[in-house]
Structure 1
Amino acid sequence: MTVLISSLEVKDIRFPTSLEGHGSDAMHTDPDYSCAYVIIGTNVNDGLTGHGPTFTCGRGTEVICQAVKALVPFVVGKDFNKIVADFGSFWRTLTSESQLRWIGPEKGVIHLACAAILNAIWDLYAKREKKPLWKLLTDMTPEQLVSCVDFRYITDVVTKEEATEILQQQQSTKLKREKYVCENGYPAYTTSTAWLGYSDETLREKCRKALSEGWTRFKMKIGANLEDDKRRATIMREEIGWQNALMMDCNQRWDVPDAISWMKELAQFKPLWIEEPTSPDDILGHATIAKALNPFGIGVATGEMCQNRVIFKQMLQAGSLQFLQIDSCRVGSVNELIAILLMAKKFDIPVCPHAGGVLLCELVHHISMFDFCCVSGTMENRVIEFVEHLRDKFVYPVKMKGTNYLPPKEPGYSSELTAKCIEEYEYPNGKIWAELFQSGKFKL
């Protein structure tokens, strides 16, 4: 029987996280963690559906939902098996549709919409194969993996032939690494202790709680006020000590000279990296910052807002980052992430994914485990972000072994929200939002 995509719906799901300062940073002071949430069905009566989010911070989610709706005619009615058999070609068809491409191309709202759709397709693909996504990818041959990638614009760094060779080099030992990650998990760091909107008392309390749980890697938000950053960094070091790792993240707040001077002031706190020190599109600015901070032992990390594989390619070529941060919803889903992992491997740059948000932890740990098994072959200098919020809203929340992510066992991309969650948090008519509007805490 031919399997056709018979339906594609999108929902605007929002959580009022701004009420307690969760997710707050120097640029995004009042985020409401949200997502445009795609559900794909087929003509086969097997109960399987694909679920795909793209993460947002509240306002604007409705714009992405409209972009998803504009792409529906290019997805519904398509033969599912033909899509996954030649995934790279379908990816280009969707991301380069001749008219919608104009409002991208391969970036911004239209690319976020493509990511949600493609995430749902990958979720359905893994479910139909009865495998978690990381295992689906790990079991693919190098040729199958390469066929998922659109190499346009990156062949000056990695060609199909080179990509196949990189993947072939890991084949003979990947089962050993698969066994290792299943037994030990993948290392994580926590951001949940030090959102910018937290009081000093809350910061101390959360650091102590995290230490009691075994955390040894911490990230703090900075960038709004230098003296505040010094005070908060002092508190962080008092609480976590000097033996534990500390990372800093200013979320694009600074100009290039500001980033350099600010981080020289904070170098005394021995941060491992400064994340998103300036505009995510400023490739040469990042390179200038990286060069200036290298003598202080501070690396540059970026990627959660990098638009596509082309920006990552140039970042790598220019030496703009020492830690590459992928995001499962910012670029064009798994297809483009494979391309980015391959380029990172070629430049020997560690991949440390951005996570948190809505379902980002759940999605991205699949990608890191695949990277370890089949692309990089190592966990050295690699770590995945962990944020504890909203776990009870997900059907398949991440499982941890201490402070390590464990590989998922359930088929799919771990991308489902619970039915109750959708009912309560769909914007603007969900039960929770109706109550918030009535109370006056939010306004439409």
Structure 2
Amino acid sequence: MAPPSGKRVWKAPFTISKMEVKDVRFPTSKGKHGSDAMHKDPDYSAAYVVLHAEGTELKGHGFTFTLGQGTDIVTTAVRGLEQFVVGRRLENIYNAFGAYWRELTSHSQLRWIGPEKGVIHLATAAVINALWDFWAKIEGKPVWELLSCMSPEEIVSLIDFRYLTDTITPEEAVELLRSKWSDEEARKKRSEFVPLGPCSILSSLLSSSRCLEALKAGFTRFKVKVGQNVEDDRRRCAAIRDIIGYDKPLMTDANQVWDVKEAITHMAQLAEYKPLFIEEPTSPDDIHAHLTIRKALSAYGIKVATGEQCCNRVMFKQFLEARAFDVCQIDSCRIGGVNEILSVILMAGKFGVPVCPHAGGVGLCELVQHLAMFDFVAVSGTLENRFIEFVDHLHEHFLDPVNITNGHYIAPTLPGYSAEMKPQSLDDYEYGKGCMWTTQQ
């Protein structure tokens, strides 16, 4: 189905001349940073893309997030997409971005090893994220503002609606967005409020000392990893509640470790600590299982959140149609970049399900803040029941790192997608080449 007409023509008269691809890894496994019930020793990593174009000194930077081994496979997949990138005029991409996204994900041979999922889709995210960084730099705006200034028709033209029209059509999406444009004064007030940012949460294996530090820093929402041992989980939940009290939300995250009955039994034993939700209680692909868990845990007042590893917009569609989760979590790198994430935000808006982005890792906070702020300004218009995850980790490697003040994200002001790493960090942490790896071998 063709998107509605009425979009402007964007001028970016530059041709992509080169695509650099780097395997960038940070040895976080040494300190068990980011470890959880399922992932014991992650090395936070990125398949990193830099786009060069003739006629401009600007560059587009983007990446997809990985956990160490396997990044070499993703970078190979990214190089497989080079045929769709190098030699293309940027204005031709941006003026038909939805169609371009479909082309990128529809190669008759490449899609066989991942039709909108898996390694090809991770590679797609890296390329698409770099293109958005490039576009925003050309326009001189941060990505959230670039998106928020678009008309409903322009936003909808960015999305490939194939497989979605039984749930939301382009026309419905335009009307959903137009309803937020109908009161220009309210929209203006929302955009002015964005620099205060949505609330964030602190995610980690929280210790008492870290809880106290977070409270002093203004954090009001907390998340704790669970899933290994119920007695240990009870002990830590009790300790955290003793510090933060029961007036602040406490969330739990099992990182997919349980079967359905385990999830229900385990969380029932944590119910007295009033967890707001359990995140990823079981396989991220099992929509029916999430629905079963959601129904069972509703008796305890515990919600279900997932989406961090939901692999494409079609699965999000099914989660939303089935009412299988209470909280929709998006990841800036798991599905095919900004274009596909827009479709998820719009579907969640139609169903009235709050979008609370997953972040952490390396660079995920930097990217996802743009998506949450767009959702606030142009789609939901509210911060109620919405927040962005935050982990204070590896931000020092970015030229435009997140700015957290009093437990809130501060909206980025620099042009781009906040994706660009410092040149020294790229050199030092390039796997197999950088000094942070060669000196360890």
Structure 1 residues 40-59: aligned runs within 5 Å: 40-44=51-55, 46-59=56-69
**Counterpart in the other structure of 2:192:** 179
**Counterpart in the other structure of 1:39:** 50
**Counterpart in the other structure of 2:275:** 271
**Counterpart in the other structure of 1:26:** 37
Whether 2:76 is the aligned partner of 1:66: answer yes
Maintained 8 Å contact 1:89/1:150? yes
- Equivalent in 200, 204, 211 of residue 188 of structure 1: 200
Which whole-Å CA distance do the structure 2 matches of 1:174 and 1:166 have between them? Answer: 14
**Counterpart in the other structure of 1:94:** 104
Structure 1 residues 35-184: aligned runs within 5 Å: 35-44=46-55, 46-171=56-181, 172=184, 173-182=186-195, 184=196
State the one-letter code of the partner of 1:365: Q
**Counterpart in the other structure of 2:392:** 388
State the one-letter code of the partner of 1:17: T
Which whole-Å CA distance do the structure 2 matches of 1:368 and 1:114 have between them? Answer: 21
Which whole-Å CA distance do the structure 1 matches of 2:297 and 2:209 have between them? Answer: 31
Whether 2:304 is the aligned partner of 1:304: answer no
Maintained 8 Å contact 1:193/1:218? no
State the one-letter code of the partner of 2:18: S
Maintained 8 Å contact 2:204/2:225? no
Counterparts in 2 of 1:193 and 1:223: CA distance versus 1, 3 Å = closer
State the one-letter code of the partner of 2:158: C
Maintained 8 Å contact 1:158/1:343? yes
TM-superposed deviation, 1:341: 0.5
* CA offset digits 1:165-186 (Å, max 9, x no partner): 011111123222001112x222
Maintained 8 Å contact 1:134/1:366? yes
* Unaligned residue ranges in structure 1 (runs of 5+): 195-202, 438-444
Bigger CA drift: 116-125 or 166-175? Answer: 166-175
Bigger CA drift: 238-247 or 343-352? Answer: 238-247
TM-superposed deviation, 1:243: 2.0
Which whole-Å CA distance do the structure 2 matches of 1:210 and 1:9 have between them? Answer: 38
Maintained 8 Å contact 1:51/1:124? yes
State the one-letter code of the partner of 1:380: E
Which whole-Å CA distance do the structure 2 matches of 1:53 and 1:208 have between them? Answer: 34
- Equivalent in 187, 209, 230 of residue 226 of structure 1: 230
Which whole-Å CA distance do the structure 2 matches of 1:159 and 1:100 have between them? Answer: 27
* CA offset digits 1:76-116 (Å, max 9, x no partner): 10111010001000000001111101111000100000000
Q: Over aligned residues, Cα RMSD in angstroms? A: 1.0
Secondary structure of 2:402's match?
Answer: coil
Which whole-Å CA distance do the structure 1 matches of 2:20 and 2:424 have between them? Answer: 17
Secondary structure of 2:201's match?
Answer: strand
Which whole-Å CA distance do the structure 2 matches of 1:243 and 1:278 have between them? Answer: 28
Maintained 8 Å contact 2:19/2:52? yes
State the one-letter code of the partner of 1:168: R
Secondary structure of 1:238's match?
Answer: helix
* Unaligned residue ranges in structure 2 (runs of 5+): 1-11
TM-superposed deviation, 1:192: 3.7
State the one-letter code of the partner of 1:311: M
Which whole-Å CA distance do the structure 2 matches of 1:399 and 1:304 have between them? Answer: 22
Q: Using structure 1 for the length normalisation, give the TM-score.
A: 0.95
Which whole-Å CA distance do the structure 2 matches of 1:40 and 1:388 have between them? Answer: 28
Secondary structure of 2:49's match?
Answer: strand
**Counterpart in the other structure of 1:198:** none
Structure 1 residues 246-395: aligned runs within 5 Å: 246-395=250-399
TM-superposed deviation, 1:193: 5.2
The ranges of structure 1 where at least 4 consecutive aligned residues each deviate by more than 6 angstroms after the TM superposition are none
Maintained 8 Å contact 1:132/1:409? yes
Which whole-Å CA distance do the structure 1 matches of 2:19 and 2:326 have between them? Answer: 39
TM-superposed deviation, 1:21: 1.8
Q: Using structure 2 for the length normalisation, give the TM-score.
A: 0.95
Whether 2:212 is the aligned partner of 1:208: answer yes
Maintained 8 Å contact 1:9/1:38? yes
Maintained 8 Å contact 1:193/1:210? no
Maintained 8 Å contact 1:302/1:323? yes
Maintained 8 Å contact 1:325/1:351? yes
**Counterpart in the other structure of 2:423:** 419
Which whole-Å CA distance do the structure 2 matches of 1:238 and 1:167 have between them? Answer: 43
